[in-house]
Structure 1
Amino acid sequence: MGGRRIAMHIVIVDTSRVVLKIVSGLLEPRGHTVHVFTDSAEALDYVTNTPSVRVLITSLEVRPISGLELCWSARLLAEANRPLYVITMSSARNARNLAEALDSGADDFIEKPPGGEELHARLRAADRLTTMQSELIRLAETDPLTGLLNRRAFLQRSREAGDRAGNHGRMSAILVDIDHFKRINDEYGHDVGDAAIQAVARELAPEGIVGRLGGEEFGIVLPYRPLVEAEAFAGRLRLVMQALRIRGAKTPIRLTCSFGVSEWSEGDTIEGLIKRADIALYEAKSGGRNRVVSAATDLLLARTA
């Protein structure tokens, strides 16, 4: 059979080490990365915390979590914007087992132990489906003009980072806004305006969680970075933006950006972190633009009073 050689990260769960050895022996020579488990709870924990896993192959007779429960849990992971293909194995293949497995979230069903050709064919189907899922997720999360995260995906990734930071972690946020953007659009046209947005986005992309929040406004969340580092980073970005030249019809066009910076605090939320950065950004723009302003307690009190 033809087709490109695929290599995926695969987890196999079965109570029998013999079955695990047989199945992994079919997969590893094909270049797949394989992790095997006899304990289904350990397997689920590994799959949950390892986004690179594309395929879960599990027997229905595993424990302490049953095979059907494992399928259901894996399906919930897949529905949370993650490509994951679930194949169940059973030595007693019958219509009831097949129906229960598929109803519990399995994508496919195979006899145990599987034959090599059948297994590889099913994995080719898994590759096709997870590749399509990955592309759909990418399209759903990406701003089409810049390639950055869109607002929804940016906030989701930032919330996840906030959960990891907890009460005592370090994290900072920066909001960026292109100064006098309406003037750029009005004087030079929307094509030049789009080029300006793309140029700014390229300079923001390498650091942290970066998204386009709408129009000419961008957000950056920097996990594990305190305020002083975020301020320094924003300061460097300000100089980079000031040096940008956007191709115009006659002469290169210059632009500047304003920056608002905030820091994660105990009991914080992403919404609160972004709100404080937004207040600081407003201060930067109202104070003359092309500036970096940090959200300080006295500034917040002044703005929220």
Structure 2
Amino acid sequence: MHIVIVDSSRVILKVVAGMLEPRGHIVSAFTDSAEALAYVTDNPRVRALITSLEVRPLAGLELCWSARLLAEASRPLSIIVMSSVRNARNLAEALDSGADDFIDKPPGAEELQARLRAAERLTSLQSELIRLAETDPLTGLLNRRAFLQRTREAAERARSFGQLSAMILDIDHFKRINDEHGHDVGDAAIKAVSALIAEEGIAGRLGGEEFAVVLPGKSLSEAEALANRLRLKAADLRVRGARAPVRLTCSLGVSEWSEGETVEGLLKRADIALYEAKTSGRNRVVSAMTDLVLSRTG
């Protein structure tokens, strides 16, 4: 488990790290609580924060509160407060500020290991609950709510660092596939298409046979090129049917985010482009910006 320790004393940090590292834990130690919070923020693999109440410049309770807000943003994190002064008031304030546990300083090795085993159980449960809340059960992609949340976060980063493009795609004539071959084949088609996009940017299932991919750092032309590659791969798919393999195609709409635009606006323009792709013949890519149509032979 990746653990961050915060204390004003380098001796305490060395002692606690010495208890943890031989057990295989990754330990990052800080005397500065603001630096520790920034590190935890930037490193989502951190699973436990152990902090003294007597730290600066952020007080221990403030650090707990700020770290708890991170955890509430769909992130597993266990927070343990350690203090040389153990009383009911300190304990209550720590728990009210977002801590999960409280331990004496310096901690005993056996007690510390036991509390960390409890922390691992807690974060494992949190991870599973987050996965269930964010994942589409059929495809394993992000569900609509989680996809939109991740897209908003990507748009926030794009405001400072660069480009962001989006594509929306769906399976052509999907109702016909369901009607002629059954819902099991329809589900297999959905899973086959989802596998094509699973590793491409931020991928989600919006509902039914419709999917979306947001591509941080990609320009419109790069998104168009990727969309056409996906279109060609989809046309090569063969889904097992009762009598013979079932073929399918996909249509895709692409858009590029611009400064001041909302995430909803970005996706709406991609959706309008998708509608154009569907009404102009299917099995094609249409760009919301240039109305570029890549034919099925492109």
Give the structure 1 partner of residue 28 of structure 2. 35
Structure 1 contact 168–265 (Cα < 8 Å) conserved? no
**Alpha-carbon distance, 1:297 to partner:** 6.2
1:154 is the counterpart of 2:147: yes
2:245 to 224, 246, 252: 252
Unaligned runs of 5+ in 2: 293-298
Give the structure 2 partner of residue 265 of structure 1. 258
Residues 98-144 of structure 1: CA deviation (Å, up to 9, x unaligned) = 11111111100000000111000000000000000001000100000
Give the structure 2 partner of residue 24 of structure 1. 17
The alignment-based identity, stated in percent, is 77
1:67 is the counterpart of 2:60: yes
Q: Distance in 2 between matches of 1:259 and 1:290?
A: 8
Counterpart amino acid of residue 20 in structure 1: L
**Which aligned pairs between 1:204-215 and structure 2 lie closer than 5 A?**
204-215=197-208
Q: Distance in 2 between matches of 1:205 and 1:199?
A: 10
2:168 to 172, 175, 183: 175
Give the structure 2 partner of residue 192 of structure 1. 185
Structure 1 contact 175–217 (Cα < 8 Å) conserved? yes
Distance 1:24 1:167, change over 3 A: closer
1:113 to 106, 111, 115: 106
Structure 2 contact 256–289 (Cα < 8 Å) conserved? no
1:44 to 37, 40, 45: 37
263-272 or 183-192: bigger deviation: 263-272
Give the SS at the match of 2:44.
Answer: coil
**Which aligned pairs between 1:89-100 and structure 2 lie closer than 5 A?**
89-100=82-93
Give the SS at the match of 2:80.
Answer: strand
**Alpha-carbon distance, 1:266 to partner:** 2.1
Give the structure 2 partner of residue 141 of structure 1. 134
119-128 or 61-70: bigger deviation: 61-70
Structure 1 contact 167–266 (Cα < 8 Å) conserved? no
Q: Distance in 1 between matches of 2:67 and 2:291?
A: 48
Give the structure 2 partner of residue 3 of structure 1. none
Unaligned runs of 5+ in 1: 1-7, 300-305
Counterpart amino acid of residue 141 in structure 1: E
Q: Distance in 2 between matches of 1:103 and 1:276?
A: 45
Give the structure 1 partner of residue 218 of structure 2. 225
Distance 1:96 1:171, change over 3 A: same
**Alpha-carbon distance, 1:296 to partner:** 2.4
Give the SS at the match of 1:249.
Answer: coil
TM-score normalised by L of structure 2:
0.96
Q: Distance in 1 between matches of 2:259 and 2:108?
A: 55
2:118 to 101, 115, 125: 125
Distance 1:298 1:168, change over 3 A: farther
Counterpart amino acid of residue 284 in structure 1: A
Residues 257-295 of structure 1: CA deviation (Å, up to 9, x unaligned) = 000011121222211111110010000000010011001
Give the structure 2 partner of residue 4 of structure 1. none
Q: Distance in 2 between matches of 1:55 and 1:130?
A: 8
1:88 is the counterpart of 2:81: yes
2:71 to 78, 97, 100: 78
**Alpha-carbon distance, 1:187 to partner:** 1.0
Give the SS at the match of 1:166.
Answer: helix
What RMSD over aligned residues (CA atoms) do the two structures have, in Å? Answer: 1.2
Q: Distance in 2 between matches of 1:35 and 1:64?
A: 18
178-187 or 95-104: bigger deviation: 95-104
Distance 1:167 1:281, change over 3 A: farther
In the TM superposition, structure 1's runs of 4+ consecutive aligned residues that sit over 6 Å from their partners are none
TM-score normalised by L of structure 1:
0.93
Q: Distance in 2 between matches of 1:230 and 1:79?
A: 32
Structure 1 contact 167–267 (Cα < 8 Å) conserved? no
